[in-house]
């Protein structure tokens, strides 16, 4: 009996391995779960926190070139849209509201980028749904690829130093609208935004 | 007059060869565009490469590849440009040692090693526990048992 009491319990040596193995399997299950239930068409934004690529593109209405650098020192909201995009229609009135809300602030610019669209259709769309801000045309898709855009609508918030602070995939509606206005644009304009 | 004909013939040969050279360059360029485009994912069609897809975005990406190759950029530089815009997602074959990708490539091997070691240790322990004890390790029979056996043997003999 004394001998038996002194010997190590048989399970004690394995327990460490069991825990390690369980942790590895659990980790893999979590990874697979995330992979299976995540949106397969979602591309994580990689440009947030980096300098916004320069843009030079024709204005949708006037015969002039518009460049992003001319807005340096201002908060720029860059919205990619198209006349054939259904979700763009959902957010359009909110974009007009954003422009109306900050129109008096000289440090705010809302710039629309017309994506994979025809010029006349884009103009018709704006005539039908209303317009109160400037739009440029992404003629060869260079701007949208430079910004890693893969669908519309997509919206970028660029700070006074030309850094991309936020990328919104999908329409600016509901909580997204509130977040964009109250948590992104206003703090940047007031100088109370925290570094991302 | 003869001089003129020689000059015309020379110019004809010269421009024809130039045109052929341009065609060859275009073919080579097309091959290189294909090489790069086949390694990039069409961001809007998921399971197709930029080369195979007819989506507008894929066509525009092929134009960029062509333009950058013509400017003398290497395939790796062009891929790096698209990765800087879309992240690793844009590569059809993820890079092995970037971010958490190593887990994808090394994970199965790691699991095999950990699992194999665990199995080996468990089986070894199990075999050691269930194997019959060698005869010398058997506990000697005590006096009570010995008497019992002798008694049983005697009763067997008396029964005969």
Instruction: Give yes or no: residues B7 and B83 share one domain.
Output: yes
**CATH number of the domain residue B32 falls in:** 1.10.8.640
* Residue A176 confidence (pLDDT) above 50: yes
Q: A163 vs chain B: nearest CA distance in angstroms?
A: 15
Highest mean pLDDT among A153-157, B87-91, B110-114: A153-157
Instruction: Give yes or no: residues B36 and B115 share one domain.
Output: no
Please give the residue range of the domain that contains residue B110: 96-130
Cβ-nearest to B87 among A14, A46, A146 = A46
Instruction: Give yes or no: residues B45 and B102 share one domain.
Output: no
Instruction: Give yes or no: residues B89 and B102 share one domain.
Output: no
Q: What is the pLDDT of residue B14?
A: 57
Nearest-5° Cα angle at B22, B17 to B23: 95
Instruction: Give yes or no: residues B112 and B71 share one domain.
Output: no
Cβ-nearest to B114 among A10, A24, A41 = A24
Instruction: Give yes or no: residues B44 and B78 share one domain.
Output: yes
Nearest C-alpha in B relative to A139:
B60
Distance (Å, whole) CA A34 – CA B34: 33
Identify the weakest region by mean pLDDT among A122-126, A148-152, B10-14: B10-14
Instruction: Give yes or no: residues B27 and B100 share one domain.
Output: no
Q: Compute CA distances B83 → A39, A155, A156, B52, whole Å.
A: 20, 20, 19, 19
Instruction: Give yes or no: residues B56 and B114 share one domain.
Output: no
Q: Is residue B120 part of a domain?
A: yes
Q: Is residue B145 part of a domain?
A: no
Domains held by chain B: number: 2
What's this model's pTM, rounded to 2 decimal places?
0.73
Distance (Å, whole) CA A77 – CA A177: 13
The more confident residue out of B61 and A40 is B61
Q: A106 vs chain B: nearest CA distance in angstroms?
A: 30
Name the band, by pLDDT with cuts 50, 70 and 90, for residue B15. low
Q: What is the mean pLDDT of residues A110-117?
A: 97
Residues of chain A with Cβ-Cβ distance to B86 below 8 Å are 43, 46, 148, 150
Name the band, by pLDDT with cuts 50, 70 and 90, for residue A5. very low
Which secondary structure element, helix H or strand E, spans residue A137, and what is its range? strand A134-138
Contact with chain B for residue A46, Cβ under 8 A: yes
Instruction: Give yes or no: residues B76 and B105 share one domain.
Output: no
Q: Is the ipTM of this complex over 0.90?
A: no
**Would strands A56-58 and A108-115 be described as parallel, antiparallel, or unpaired?**
unpaired
Instruction: Give yes or no: residues B56 and B120 share one domain.
Output: no
Answer whether B89 sits within 8 Å of A28, measured CB to CB: no
Q: What is the pLDDT of residue B67?
A: 95
Name the band, by pLDDT with cuts 50, 70 and 90, for residue A9. low
Contact with chain B for residue A80, Cβ under 8 A: no
Q: Which residues of B touch A (CB under 8 A)?
A: 43-44, 46, 56-57, 60-61, 63-64, 82, 84-87, 89-90, 103, 107, 110-111, 114-115, 117-118, 121-122, 125, 129
Name the band, by pLDDT with cuts 50, 70 and 90, for residue A26. confident
What is the number of CB-based contacts under 8 A between chain A and chain B? 67
Q: Compute CA distances B56 → A22, A103, A116, B12, whole Å.
A: 47, 34, 8, 40
Instruction: Give yes or no: residues B53 and B105 share one domain.
Output: no
The more confident residue out of A34 and B20 is A34
Q: Is residue B154 part of a domain?
A: no
Cβ-nearest to A46 among B86, B121, B125 = B86
Q: What is the pLDDT of residue A133?
A: 97
The more confident residue out of A129 and B156 is A129
Instruction: Give yes or no: residues B32 and B7 share one domain.
Output: yes
Q: What is the pLDDT of residue A111?
A: 98
Nearest C-alpha in A relative to B110:
A24
């Amino acid at each position: 009996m004394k001998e038996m009491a002194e010997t190590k319990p048989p399970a004690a040596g394995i327990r460490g391995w069991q825990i390690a193995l369980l942790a590895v399997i659990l980790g893999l299950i979590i990874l697979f779960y995330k992979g299976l239930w995540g949106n397969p068409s979602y591309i994580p934004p990689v440009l947030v926190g980096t300098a916004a690529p320069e843009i030079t593109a024709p204005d949708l209405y006037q015969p002039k070139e518009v460049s992003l650098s001319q807005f340096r020192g201002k908060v720029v909201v860059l919205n990619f849209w198209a006349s054939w995009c259904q979700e763009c229609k959902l957010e359009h009135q909110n974009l007009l509201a954003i422009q109306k809300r900050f129109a008096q602030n000289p440090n705010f610019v809302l710039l629309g980028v017309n994506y994979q669209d025809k010029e006349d259709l884009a103009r018709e769309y704006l005539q039908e749904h209303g317009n109160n801000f400037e739009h440029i045309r992404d003629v060869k898709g260079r701007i949208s690829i430079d910004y890693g855009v893969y669908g519309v609508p997509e919206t970028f918030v660029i700070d006074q130093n030309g850094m991309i602070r936020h990328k919104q995939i999908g329409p600016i509606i509901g909580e997204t609208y509130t977040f964009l206005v109250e948590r992104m644009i206003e703090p940047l304009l007031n100088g109370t935004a925290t570094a991302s | 007059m003869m001089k003129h004909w020689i000059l015309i013939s020379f110019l004809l040969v010269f421009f024809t060869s130039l045109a052929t050279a341009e065609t060859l360059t275009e073919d080579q360029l097309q091959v290189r565009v294909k090489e790069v485009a086949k390694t990039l994912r069409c961001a809007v069609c998921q399971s197709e490469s930029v080369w195979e897809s007819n989506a507008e975005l894929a066509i525009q990406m092929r134009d960029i590849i062509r333009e950058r190759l013509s400017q003398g950029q290497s395939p790796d530089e062009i891929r790096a440009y698209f990765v800087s815009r879309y992240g690793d997602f844009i590569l059809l074959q993820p890079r092995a040692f970037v971010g958490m990708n190593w887990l994808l490539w090394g994970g199965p091997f790691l699991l095999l090693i950990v699992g194999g070691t665990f199995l080996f240790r468990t089986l070894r322990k199990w075999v050691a526990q269930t194997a019959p004890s060698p005869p010398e390790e058997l506990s000697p029979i005590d006096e009570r048992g010995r008497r019992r056996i002798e008694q049983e043997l005697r009763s067997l003999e008396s029964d005969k």
